[in-house]
Amino acid sequence: MFNKFIKRPVLAIVLSLVIIFLGTLAIKTLPTSQFPEIAPPVVMVSASYPGASAKTLAESVIIPLEQAINGAWGMRYMTSDATSAGEANVQVIFEPGTDINQALVQVSNRVEQVRNRLPPLVQREGVIITPVIPSMLMYVNLYSKDPNANMKFLFNYAGVNMIPELQRIKGIGQARILGSRQYAMRVWLNPERMRAYNISPDDVMEALSDQSIIGKPGRIGRGDSKQAEALEYVLAYSDRFSEPKQYEDVILRANPKGELLRLKDVATVVLGSEYYDIYSNLNGYPSAAVVLKQTYGSNAGQVVDNVKEKMEELKKDFPPGMEYEISYDVSNFLDASIENVIHTLRDAFILVALVVFIFLGDWRSTLIPTLAVPISLIGAFIFMQLFGLTINMITLFAIVLAVGIVVDDAIVVIENTHRLFENGKRDLFNN
């Protein structure tokens, strides 16, 4: 077979050009990520039970969920944890190679079977089922130099204006804010007053759920087939409360004498944050840290560029004093790895040319391995695409190691060929 390439140099040149073309095309289309996708698929089931202890969560939430999820097709094992803050998590780990979408559907179907057995408050808060995406992409910190902008404002601005825009970018698998600082009405109960009025927290919760509701009173004056009406009125309800004063006037108890016990008599109501579980600052300014993760098989470099472009677009509508900073960017590591590979190739070409020319003293013998090395390495990306590999730190490191093997083989082969030519054994290549 090698004699055909020796006797037909045009064929060898054409094949080399084809390899360079396909390899370059593979480099442009191969997805990039920091690490290869070797971690098994993981599905996270999260539930919130405000006010419950870890033991209550384990008995009323985690155990029913584990019993329902256990035995899902492709599941390897699962882990669970509960905190005293009223949060429970169940991680379901599947076998490597399992389709994450199928795993998500299986877990969702099994959770639906036991949703009715969960406490009513857990059902109202919601059971969230999401795939865990291990490929970290970048951190974006939103901060403000305006003294009137606090952390609560930044968290809500990011949740309303940034997160929806970032989630629509192709390749973004998850966009979330570290912590939870959404606006919420905080009801601080006074134990002494509650004991004096014989009021329990359950009574307060029941009064709030009965009076702060989304109502639909209906319509009056609608006509029918027998009688027509000139006017029709749509009744409107005050809707859920949105001001602290409205919550303060919630009636907890009333007697026949007309005496009313309102929420403000046993509690203080303020507009605050949903949780106070995290404090985020950047260079002394309050901030909101947004974590972005990429989807499986996406191009990290392209996704990062799209995120930066979108952030510059969103920056035009920022309030005065608000800015953003990218604290972590996976493309920096990828660019550094690719740059190191390029430097290694450059040094390899220089060394090959020097070694061959110094020892053989022939420009033709020097040119052959100098061209053969890049063709061989570029052709490796074709097989990376065929086997479904990505450009990551591991594959780039493998290419760096392969450079030594390719260079060594190129020098040995050209030196041996040159030696046979000098010994008059040219006829070996003509047979």
29 and 44 together in one domain: no
The range of the structural domain enclosing residue 95 comes to 40-133
Mean pLDDT value across the chain:
81
**pLDDT-derived band at 277, boundaries 50, 70, 90:** low
| CATH number of the domain where residue 257 is located | 3.30.2090.10
Is 382 a domain residue? yes
Instruction: Give the CA distances from residue 3 to residues 414, 427, 429, 431, in Å, rounded to whole numbers and listed in that order.
Output: 16, 11, 6, 7
- pLDDT digits over 370-384, tens only? 777 778 888 888 888
Domain end residue (candidates: 113, 133, 153)? 133
60 and 110 together in one domain: yes
Domain end residue (candidates: 217, 237, 267)? 267
- pLDDT digits over 48-67, tens only? 887 788 888 888 999 999 99
10 and 80 together in one domain: no
Domain end residue (candidates: 133, 150, 182)? 133
Mean pLDDT for 289-302 is 80
| CATH number of the domain where residue 53 is located | 3.30.70.1430
- pLDDT digits over 200-247, tens only? 888 888 888 888 877 677 777 776 666 766 677 877 777 778 888 888
Is 77 a domain residue? yes
Is 238 a domain residue? yes
93 and 110 together in one domain: yes
User: DSSP states of 4-37 as a string?
Assistant: HHHH-HHHHHHHHHHHHHHHHHHHHHS-B-SS-S
89 and 129 together in one domain: yes
346 and 421 together in one domain: yes
pLDDT greater than 60 at residue 430: no
Is 278 a domain residue? no
Is 139 a domain residue? no
Is 173 a domain residue? no
pLDDT greater than 70 at residue 334: yes
Exposure of 203 in the CB half-sphere (CA atoms within 13 A): 16
Is 307 a domain residue? no
How many whole angstroms separate alpha carbon 245 and alpha carbon 149?
A: 24
| Most trustworthy range by pLDDT among 100-114, 265-279, 335-349 | 100-114
324-340 burial code (b ≥16 CB/10 A, e <16) = bebeebbbeebeebbee
- What pLDDT, on the 0 to 100 scale, is given for residue 67? 92
